[in-house]
Structure 1
Amino acid sequence: MNTFVHLNKIKIFARHGVLPQEQLTGAYFYVSLKIGYDFSKAMLTDNLEGTISYADIFEIVRLEMAVPSKLLEHVGGRIANRIKNEFPQITSIELTIDKENPPMGAECLAAGIDIKIEY
């Protein structure tokens, strides 16, 4: 059985970007995660101890997104590593970070990165 915990399109204001102006003014980002984890115990017991709390995952995302970085790749790597360190029992992470309206001289709703790690 494959089971996953996911959060879709968490909207967060942050200051990431290569250009100094991006780190000064900031932008909105959308973070989505899909975390592989055996929560069959929670399916039987209705107990939070058998799964991973969405709130705990959000807190990791919030803390890492608060650290200004030039590259979304770096932010995504930090988020994935911290989740794995705090929840070593996970079997996979899929992570997407999209930057709303990136400054690139073209009309674009969002640009971003995807990370998929199997453990």
Structure 2
Amino acid sequence: MDAIHLQDLAFYAFHGVHEEEARLGQRFVVDLTCRLDLTAPSLSDRYEETVCYATLTRTIEKVVTGSRYKLIERLAGAIADAVLDAEERIQGVSVRVHKPGAPLPIAAGRVSVEITRTRAPS
């Protein structure tokens, strides 16, 4: 299956378990891989036969900035659901949410969650 990748999409939002995270907010970074058949646009060079990257970005932004979640696992799941709902040509998605400012008990480190979802057969 072919893929469209969007990487390093950064948003400021208020997700997290701790009260400080809800009050102060922080940056979240999202990577998205959409699985779909790109045969038609790869042959025709016609914009309307592919998925709009800007629309995907706006879909992700709406989820990340429009609701508050305690867990980035839930945020990733909500993004995956929204992308599948927004574009029927997409057969599967992988969403990775990075939380650069995650409260870790050490001086340095990175946290991310990746969720993969596929469209239910119709």
Name 1:53's counterpart in structure 2: 52
Residue 25 (structure 2) aligns with: 26
Structure 1 segments (4+ residues) deviating >3 Å = none
Q: Is the 8 A contact 1:17 1:23 kept in 2?
A: yes
Kindly state the Cα deviation for residue 88 of structure 1 after the two structures are TM-superposed. Answer: 2.1
Counterparts of 1:118 and 1:33, CA distance in 2: 13
2:39 paired with 1:43: no
Q: Distance in 1 between matches of 2:11 and 2:109?
A: 16
TM-score (normalised: structure 1): 0.91
Question: CA separation of 1:27/1:109 partners in 2, compared to 1, >3 Å: closer, same or farther?
Answer: farther
Partner secondary structure for residue 100 of structure 1: coil
1:78-109 CA deviation, whole Å, 9 max, x = no partner? 11111111112212111100101311222234
Deviations 1:26-77 (A, max 9, x none): 1111100110011211112211211111101100110000122111111111
Task: Report percent identity of matched pairs.
Answer: 24
d(CA) in 1 for partners of 2:80 and 2:26? 21
Instruction: For structure 2, list consecutive stretches of 5 or more residues without a partner in the other structure.
Output: none
**TM-score computed with the length of structure 2 as normaliser:** 0.89
Query: C-alpha separation between the residues in 2 aligned to 1:54 and 1:109?
Result: 30
Contact 1:31 1:98 in 2 (8 A): yes
> Unpaired segments of 5 or more residues in structure 1?
none
The answer to whether the 8 A contact 2:95-2:114 is kept is yes
Check conservation: 2:13, 2:26, Cα contact below 8 A: yes
| CA distance in 2: counterparts of 1:107 and 1:96, whole angstroms | 23
Contact 1:3 1:37 in 2 (8 A): yes
Rounded to whole Å, the distance in 2 between the matches of 1:109 and 1:61 is 25
RMSD: 1.3
